């Protein structure tokens, strides 16, 4: 068994990558305080190949110099848009037929492994490091996804929780749909209407 050197690791070229479909998951990052968490989430989003990151509230953007240390270039490979109001983004995706899911601990917990085909495409809301997803956004959601935890703390770092959660959702999606029978990709929401 031999460790691969950096340049030996197979990666799609930028041209190949553009022809590959994304998993039908879009993510709203609301009120993330630390630009390092934003950068790490960009890097994880590249690896999970989601559709797009929506940066809402006071979440920092790739315009912030500090992001480069943790995003390591993923800010250029993951589609993203910064917009102040998370409610408008969520409403637009609801109208497009997305299931709205908060990654949050609620009175009706559900694990990613319980997602059904009709739950895709899916819009996942991630909230603040300390206070989590805003209560009014949780109320807008169709369901709340939770990571099964077995310890004393019930508290994960937000970029770690996002990593575990998004890879769980991607795994579930790929288990539900055969890779060669991927459902047609939903029309991407490139920009928000100005209304």
By CB under 8 A, residue 176 contacts a second copy: no
Residue 163 CB contacts under 8 Å (≥ 6 apart), including other chains: 44
Give, as ranges, the residues between 17 and 36 that touch a second copy (CB under 8 A): 17, 20, 23
DSSP code at position 156: -
Write out the binding residues for a second copy, residues 83-122 only, by CB under 8 A: 102, 104-111, 113-116, 118-119
Task: Assess 188 for contact with a second copy (CB under 8 A).
Answer: no
Regarding 7 and contact with a second copy (CB under 8 A), the answer is: no
Report how far residue 163's alpha carbon sits from residue 161's, in angstroms, rounded to the nearest whole number: 5
Contacts of residue 112, defined as CB under 8 A and 6 or more positions apart, other chains included, come to: 145, 165, 168, 169, 171, 172
Interface segment toward a second copy; rule CB under 8 A; list 13-21, 25-33, 54-62, 88-96: 13-21
User: Between residues 56 and 159, which has the closer beta carbon with respect to a second copy?
Assistant: 159
Token couple for 10:
């197979």
Give the nearest distance from C-beta 95 to a second copy in angstroms. Answer: 20
Rule CB under 8 A: is residue 148 a binding residue for a second copy?
Answer: yes
Q: Which is nearer to a second copy, 83 or 146 (CB)?
A: 146
Nearer to a second copy, 95 or 194 (CB): 194
186 scored as a contact of a second copy (CB under 8 A): yes
- CB burial class (10 A; 0-12, 13-18, 19+) of residue 22? middle
Q: Measured between alpha carbons, how far is residue 73 from residues 53, 136, 142, 185 in Å?
A: 15, 33, 33, 25
Q: Could you tell me if 37 and 156 are in contact, meaning their C-beta atoms sit under 8 angstroms apart?
A: no
Show contacts with a second copy in window 37-66 (CB under 8 A): 40, 43-49
- Asked if 41 contacts 68 with a C-beta cutoff of 8 angstroms, the reply is no
In the complex, least distance from residue 2 CB atom to a second copy, rounded to whole angstroms? 5
Q: Applying CB under 8 A, does 192 fall inside the site for a second copy?
A: yes
Taking the complex as a whole, the smallest distance from the CB of residue 136 to a second copy amounts, in Å, to: 10
């Amino acid at each position: 068994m031999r460790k691969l050197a950096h340049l030996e690791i197979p990666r799609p070229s930028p041209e190949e990558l553009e022809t590959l479909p994304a998993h039908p998951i879009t993510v709203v990052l609301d009120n993330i305080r630390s630009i390092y968490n934003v950068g790490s989430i960009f890097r994880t989003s590249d690896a999970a190949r989601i559709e797009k990151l929506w940066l809402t509230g006071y979440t920092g953007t790739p315009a912030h110099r500090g992001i480069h240390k943790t995003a390591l270039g993923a800010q250029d490979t993951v589609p993203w848009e910064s917009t102040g109001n998370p409610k408008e983004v969520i409403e637009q995706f609801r109208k497009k037929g997305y299931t709205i899911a908060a990654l949050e601990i609620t009175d009706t917990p559900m694990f990613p492994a319980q997602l059904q085909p009709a739950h895709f495409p899916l819009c996942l809301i991630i909230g603040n490091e300390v206070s989590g997803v805003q209560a009014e956004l949780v109320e807008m959601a169709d369901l709340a996804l939770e990571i099964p935890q077995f310890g004393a703390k019930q508290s994960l770092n937000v970029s770690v929780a996002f990593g575990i959660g998004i890879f769980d959702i991607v795994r579930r999606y790929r288990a539900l749909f055969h890779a060669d029978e991927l459902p047609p990709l939903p029309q991407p929401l490139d920009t928000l209407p100005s209304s």
